[in-house]
């Protein structure tokens, strides 16, 4: 039987569906959210360790999600490693000094991850994303305010280690439409040529929930996976691909438009249930995955490429957060 894109009544296998929905599937770059979507057993999620804490000084809620083994990887769909999330509603709101208290928290956890990598003394910071697209401009903007030091101390990265001042270099590689190259190729080339001991990548992320936008910073020691980020990176930037440890720092700035569609279907089902229309609720919930996919397809029209939901004042939020993060990195590196 032939299948056509327009026939919503065909049944696809789950694999076919996954393949088809690539590009419009709902995805979160936050481990925090990935874990929320999993129904926990009594002992939590197998292979995943979670710790929550609250900073006294800064009203920042810190969640540490550690994916310990393959069970954990499978359960929440993120590779093994540590994911630290700092959440604070005040990030989205102006204060006097670009939230120095959050910069300090961030510096603390960057320091912790650096330590776990044996305190690399020379670091290349990569500002991923597109400076022309506001919601994807976090990486380039963070680099704008970062203190570079590598050129001040000669070009070799050996010797000269003094007082914890690290050797910092940085690059904004641009996006594929601007360069014709994969970001990963550019970064790999620069890493091989300049020999840093670690990479820190900064990127704008896609979240599942609009309430996380610009109120959350995620740190991880796993690098960047294919398909992640607002710009949908096609290749990975990881210790495996670059040969040196990679710390990723990200802030969600968009939600995939498809998420809104799926959420609406769920919300409708609940509403009908609450209103006593159980059979209607069941009918909605029972919609086959291919039907849901078809609906998303028609509503979001993926032929226009990925569609994103973003707040109207994203410019102010990204500007503010990019300062908070570059200050955090400056503190972590220069003490």
Q: Which two tokens stand for residue 33?
A: 């959210």
Among 272, 325, 329, 332, the residue binding a second copy under the rule CB under 8 A is 272
The distance of closest approach from Cβ of residue 15 to a second copy in the complex, given in angstroms and rounded to an integer, is 23
HSE-CB at 64 with a 13 A cutoff on CA atoms is 12
Tell me how far apart the alpha carbons of residues 186 and 163 are, in angstroms, rounded to a whole number: 31
Does 179 participate in binding a second copy (rule CB under 8 A)? yes
Question: Which residue, 115 or 282, is less far from a second copy as judged by CB?
Answer: 282
Q: Using alpha carbons, list the distances in angstroms from residue 277 to 171, 261, 268, 281.
A: 56, 21, 11, 6
Does 8 participate in binding a second copy (rule CB under 8 A)? yes
Among 192, 243, 289, 335, the residue binding a second copy under the rule CB under 8 A is 192
Q: Which stretch binds a second copy (CB under 8 A): 27-35, 56-64, 111-119, 310-318?
A: 310-318
Contacts of 194 (CB under 8 A, 6+ apart): 124, 150, 157, 169
Tell me how far apart the alpha carbons of residues 160 and 166 are, in angstroms, rounded to a whole number: 10
Q: Is residue 321 within 8 Å of residue 106, measured between CB atoms? A: no
Q: Which stretch binds a second copy (CB under 8 A): 10-18, 78-86, 104-112, 185-193?
A: 185-193
Tell me how far apart the alpha carbons of residues 233 and 129 are, in angstroms, rounded to a whole number: 9
Question: Which residue, 137 or 220, is less far from a second copy as judged by CB?
Answer: 137
Among 191, 207, 246, 329, the residue binding a second copy under the rule CB under 8 A is 191
Q: Which of residues 133-162 bind a second copy (CB under 8 A)?
A: 133-135, 143, 147-152, 155
Q: Which of residues 227-266 bind a second copy (CB under 8 A)?
A: 230-232, 257, 260-261, 263-265
Q: Using alpha carbons, list the distances in angstroms from residue 251 to 77, 151, 198, 314.
A: 19, 29, 20, 12
Tell me how far apart the alpha carbons of residues 126 and 133 are, in angstroms, rounded to a whole number: 17
Question: Which residue, 244 or 268, is less far from a second copy as judged by CB?
Answer: 268
Q: Which of residues 87-106 bind a second copy (CB under 8 A)?
A: 92, 94, 97
Q: Which of residues 201-230 bind a second copy (CB under 8 A)?
A: 210-211, 213, 230
Does 299 participate in binding a second copy (rule CB under 8 A)? yes
Does 61 participate in binding a second copy (rule CB under 8 A)? no
Question: Which residue, 128 or 213, is less far from a second copy as judged by CB?
Answer: 213
Q: Which stretch binds a second copy (CB under 8 A): 76-84, 104-112, 180-188, 245-253?
A: 180-188
Q: Is 47 left (phi over 0), alpha (psi -120 to 50) or beta?
A: left
DSSP 119: -
Among 33, 27, 15, CA closest to 262: 27
Question: How many chain residues interact with a second copy (CB under 8 A)?
Answer: 84
The distance of closest approach from Cβ of residue 298 to a second copy in the complex, given in angstroms and rounded to an integer, is 7
Q: Which stretch binds a second copy (CB under 8 A): 74-82, 189-197, 220-228, 245-253?
A: 189-197
Question: Which residue, 55 or 195, is less far from a second copy as judged by CB?
Answer: 195
The distance of closest approach from Cβ of residue 146 to a second copy in the complex, given in angstroms and rounded to an integer, is 9
Q: Which two tokens stand for residue 212?
A: 């996380």
Among 72, 79, 174, 250, the residue binding a second copy under the rule CB under 8 A is 174
DSSP 25-93: S---S-HHHHHHTSPPBTTBSTTEEEEEEE-TTT--EEEEEEE-SHHHHHHHS--SEEEEEEE-GGGGS
Does 112 participate in binding a second copy (rule CB under 8 A)? no
Q: Which of residues 279-298 bind a second copy (CB under 8 A)?
A: 279-280, 283-284, 287, 291, 295, 298
């Amino acid at each position: 039987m032939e299948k056509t894109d327009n026939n919503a009544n065909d049944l696809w296998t789950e694999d076919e569906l996954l393949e088809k929905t690539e590009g419009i599937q709902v995805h979160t770059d936050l481990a925090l959210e990935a874990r929320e979507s999993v129904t926990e057993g009594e002992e939590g999620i197998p292979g995943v360790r979670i710790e929550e804490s609250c900073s006294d000084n800064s009203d920042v809620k810190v969640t540490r999600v550690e994916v310990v083994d393959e069970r954990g990887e499978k359960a929440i769909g993120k590779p093994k490693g540590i994911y630290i999330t700092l959440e604070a509603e005040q990030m989205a709101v102006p204060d006097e000094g670009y939230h120095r208290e959050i910069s300090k928290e961030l510096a603390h956890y960057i320091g912790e991850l650096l330590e776990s990598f044996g305190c690399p003394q020379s670091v290349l910071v990569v500002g991923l994303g597109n400076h022309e697209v506001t919601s994807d401009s976090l990486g380039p903007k963070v680099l704008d305010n970062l203190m570079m030091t590598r050129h001040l101390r000669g070009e070799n990265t050996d010797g000269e280690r003094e007082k914890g001042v690290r050797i910092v270099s940085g690059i904004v590689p641009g996006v594929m439409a601007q360069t014709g190259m994969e970001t990963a190729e550019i970064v790999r080339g620069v890493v091989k040529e300049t020999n840093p001991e670690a990479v820190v990548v900064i990127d704008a992320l896609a979240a599942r929930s609009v309430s996380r936008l610009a109120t959350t910073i995620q740190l991880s020691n796993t690098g960047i996976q294919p398909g992640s980020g607002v710009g949908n990176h096609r290749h990975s930037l990881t210790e495996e691909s670059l040969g040196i440890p990679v710390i990723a720092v990200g802030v969600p700035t968009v939600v995939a438009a498809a998420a809104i569609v799926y959420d609406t279907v769920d919300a409708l089902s609940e509403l009908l249930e609450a209103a006593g229309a159980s059979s209607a609720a069941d009918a909605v919930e029972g919609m086959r995955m291919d039907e849901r996919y078809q609906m998303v397809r028609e509503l979001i029209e993926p032929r226009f490429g990925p569609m994103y939901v973003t707040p109207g004042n994203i410019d102010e939020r990204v500007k503010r957060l990019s300062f908070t993060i570059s200050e955090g990195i400056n503190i972590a590196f220069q003490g």
